[in-house]
């Protein structure tokens, strides 16, 4: 029996939608099986500048930029006990970054999926893949609530559900406790922002226990989150839905930015950070985006990695199905692509949790344009590979991070500990205590969330 489709794609997020768009434009018969109905809530609202060039390459730049967004020209980093902060723009990078934005993911993801439909892909929403029946070269079949669906190739873009990773038992977390994380987050109104061209800068506030994000996602709404270690949370007698308020109440810098904020009293929770499902390809299948690997969100890599890997794998699959490339060679290419483009981010993430890295990074100086090279990596200038001009400077910076532990290349600073700070209830909790209603912000979450850690 001939397969119904050339390519099945499990998941219609940025990775799946991008792959579907590229494949459908090549004239292939594509079916996207998406468990949710769009628009749907998702975090990850800050996009890397490298995505601008990708949107241009895909011919969708005008369509996406017409969506409600906040222009993002750089970022702001600071310590929890107060200013000064360090601000930088992507124009300061060694490889100059393009303008980009923060955007509400429900709007962004729906637009990408609509573009896949318009390109000719069949999109079935509310249709999760329940099981994989066959996974062989040229012959794949999955089960949905509506019955079985067959194809010649399966792309896993299922996000943290990691459909194939779980089925083949290739999903692996990391033993390093610094890479084991849980995030507590919510959307708020009236959070103070920077002014002018800096108003869209995502703000990262650091503490010994982890870090906060404050990201403006439209004219009125700001995404606020706190990322920390599950082992730390287990030492607290605080409900998971109150962790964000607990952390804000002990962080002067964030509390000040949120002094007039209103929003829901309870936070949402997302855990199970940092894993990979290597190898990311095999007979009849490829993994893309978060289904392949998930990095700590500190540097906002999710959407860019998802879309870049979706486009890359779609071009490989089109060549395989046209008989221009054999499957093993395509698999090797894709595995190398994921490893090559995520490696610099893994290194930065591991270093970020070292006080010596934070001291050097906040100082902002350094010889041989090393800070400018780090900003280029943060901007996502690692696709399709990391230029030599960035690689050697990144290595040199790593050495400086090690040396900073022993010699004060930049001024040493005592780590800021939330646990040592006296709590002061943030404004949105004072509204609860006074009986006032919270701001009218409603989030429906269908992504896998954990209420306990």
Which residue shows structure tokens 């700590």?
296
345 sits in which H/E element:
helix 327-352
DSSP codes joined into one string, 260-303: T-B--SS-EEEE---EE-SS-EETTEEE-GGGTEE--GGG--HH
Q: Are residues 22 and 139 in the same domain?
A: yes
Domain count, the chain: 2
* Residues 110, 55 share a domain: yes
Does some domain include residue 290? yes
Asked whether residue 108 falls in the same domain as residue 10, the answer is: yes
Q: Does 447 score more than 50 pLDDT?
A: no
Of the residues 342, 363, 386, the one at which a domain ends: 342
The pLDDT of 380-404, averaged and rounded, is 89
Asked if residue 32 lies in contact with residue 113, where contact means CB atoms within 8 angstroms, the answer is yes
My answer on whether 37 and 146 are in the same domain is yes
Smallest CA-to-CA distance from 96 within 308, 368, 387 is with 387
**What pLDDT score was predicted for residue 174?**
66
Name the phi and psi angles at 175, rounded to 5: -70, -25
Tell me, yes or no, whether 400 and 278 share the same domain.
no
In a domain, 61, yes or no: yes
Whole-angstrom distance, CA of residue 346 vs CA of residue 212: 19
| 52 plus 131 within the same structural domain | yes
Domain extent at residue 372 = 345-404
**Residues 6 or more apart from 20 whose CB is under 8 A from it?**
7, 9, 12, 30, 32, 116, 119, 121, 123, 314
Query: What would the two tokens of residue 377 be?
Result: 């990596």
Q: What is the pLDDT of residue 430?
A: 60
What's the pLDDT tens digit per position in 302-355? 899 999 999 999 999 999 999 999 999 999 999 999 999 888 888 888 888 889
Cis bond upstream, residue 279 (ω within 30): yes
The percentage of the chain sitting over the pLDDT mark of 90, rounded to a whole number, equals 57
Is the pLDDT score of 32 beyond 90?
A: yes
Residues 139, 156 within the same domain:
yes
For residue 452, being part of any structural domain is answered with no
Q: Please enumerate in sequence order all residues whose Cβ is within 8 A of that of 196, keeping only pairs 6 or more positions apart, or say none.
A: none
- The answer to whether residues 19 and 310 touch, using CB atoms and an 8 Å cutoff, is yes
- Identify whether 254 is preceded by a cis peptide bond (ω within 30 of 0): no
Q: How far apart are CA 212 and CA 114, in angstroms?
A: 33
Cβ atoms within 10 Å, residue 67? 14
Q: How confident is the model at residue 10 (pLDDT cuts 50, 70, 90)?
A: very high
DSSP H helical ranges for 353-409: 355-363, 370-378, 388-404
Q: Interior CA angle at 9 toward 270 and 161, to 5°?
A: 20
CATH code (residue 332): 3.50.50.60
The reply to whether 256 falls in a domain is no
State pLDDT tens for residues 111-161: 999 999 999 999 999 999 999 999 999 999 999 998 999 999 999 999 888
pLDDT at 67: 94
Please write the tens of the pLDDT for every residue from 196-246.
Answer: 999 999 999 999 999 999 999 988 899 999 999 888 998 998 999 999 999
Is it the case that residue 11 has pLDDT exceeding 90?
yes
Q: CB of 317 within 8 A of CB of 155? A: yes
Q: Is residue 22 part of a domain?
A: yes
| Distance in angstroms (rounded) separating the CA atoms of residues 160 and 309 | 15
349-388 pLDDT, tens digit per residue, is 888 888 998 998 888 767 788 888 888 888 888 888 888 9
The answer as to whether 198 is a domain residue is: no
Q: Per the structure block, which two tokens stand in for 192?
A: 């103070």
Coil, strand, or helix at residue 318?
Answer: helix
* pLDDT interval class at 53 (50, 70, 90): very high
**Residue 280: pLDDT above 80?**
yes
């Amino acid at each position: 029996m001939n397969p119904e489709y050339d390519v099945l794609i499990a998941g219609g997020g940025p990775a799946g939608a991008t792959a579907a768009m590229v494949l459908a434009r090549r004239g292939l018969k594509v079916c996207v099986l998406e468990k949710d109905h769009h628009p749907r809530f998702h975090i990850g609202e800050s996009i890397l500048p490298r995505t601008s060039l990708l949107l241009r390459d895909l011919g969708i730049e005008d369509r996406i930029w017409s969506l409600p967004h906040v222009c993002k020209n750089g970022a702001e980093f600071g310590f929890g006990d107060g200013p000064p902060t360090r601000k930088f723009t992507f124009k300061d990078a060694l490889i100059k970054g393009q303008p980009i934005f923060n955007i509400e993911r429900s709007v962004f993801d729906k637009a990408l999926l609509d573009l896949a439909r318009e390109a000719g892909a069949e999109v079935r929403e509310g249709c999760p893949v329940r099981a994989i029946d066959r996974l062989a070269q040229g012959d794949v079949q999955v089960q949905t609530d509506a019955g079985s669906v067959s194809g010649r190739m399966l792309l896993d873009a299922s996000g943290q559900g990691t459909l194939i990773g779980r089925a083949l038992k290739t999903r692996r977390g990391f033993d390093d406790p610094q890479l084991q994380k849980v995030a507590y987050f919510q959307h708020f109104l009236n959070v103070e922002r920077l002014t002018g061209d800096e108003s869209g800068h995502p703000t990262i506030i650091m503490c010994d226990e982890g870090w906060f994000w404050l990201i403006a996602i439209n004219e009125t709404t700001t995404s606020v989150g706190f990322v920390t270690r599950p082992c730390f949370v287990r030492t607290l007698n605080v409900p998971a839905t109150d962790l964000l308020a607990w952390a804000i109440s002990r962080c002067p810098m964030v509390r000040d930015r949120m002094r007039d904020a209103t929003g829901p009293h309870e936070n949402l929770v997302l855990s199970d950070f940092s894993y990979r499902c290597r190898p990311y390809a095999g007979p009849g299948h490829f993994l893309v985006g978060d289904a392949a690997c998930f990095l700590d969100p500190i540097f906002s890599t999710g959407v860019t990695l998802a879309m870049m890997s979706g486009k890359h794998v779609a071009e490989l699959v089109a060549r395989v199905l046209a008989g221009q490339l054999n499957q093993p060679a395509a698999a090797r290419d894709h595995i190398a692509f994921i490893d090559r483009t995520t490696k610099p981010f893994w290194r930065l993430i591991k270093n970020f949790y070292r006080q010596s890295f934070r001291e050097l990074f906040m100082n902002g100086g350094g010889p041989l344009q090393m800070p400018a090279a780090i900003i280029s990596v943060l901007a996502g200038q690692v696709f399709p590979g990391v230029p030599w001009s960035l690689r050697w400077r990144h290595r040199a910076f790593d050495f400086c991070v090690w040396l900073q532990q022993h010699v004060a290349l930049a001024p040493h600073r005592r780590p800021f500990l939330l646990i040592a700070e006296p709590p002061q209830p943030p404004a949105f909790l004072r509204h609860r205590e006074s009986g006032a209603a919270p701001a009218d912000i409603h989030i429906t979450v269908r992504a896998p969330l954990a209420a306990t850690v």
